[in-house]
Amino acid sequence: MITSTYTVTGMTCGHCVASVKEEVGQVPGVTGVEVDLDSGRMTVTSDGPLEAARIREAVAEAGYQLKD
């Protein structure tokens, strides 16, 4: 299992967190997503390596951005 950490910007509420978790959770290979609203920290677990671009696209689909 691989764990990756990202910072999501623009979230302001629990609905934001749920949207991000839902979209990122649909990326093939992702086995878990945890998001902390206060820090914007998102922890993604997966079966194998994930392309950062796929995670970035999923976060964008939810309406938010990854901090560079």
- Per-10-residue mean pLDDT of the chain, 68 residues long, equals 96 96 97 97 95 96 94
Which domain CATH number covers 36? 3.30.70.100
Please answer whether residues 50 and 32 qualify as being in contact, where contact means their C-beta atoms are separated by less than 8 angstroms.
no
Burial of 45 (0-12, 13-18, 19+ CB in 10 A): middle
Structural domain including 28 reads 2-66
> What pLDDT does 67 receive?
93
| Residue found by looking up tokens 């910072």 in the block | 7
What domain count does the chain have? Answer: 1
> What pLDDT does 68 receive?
77
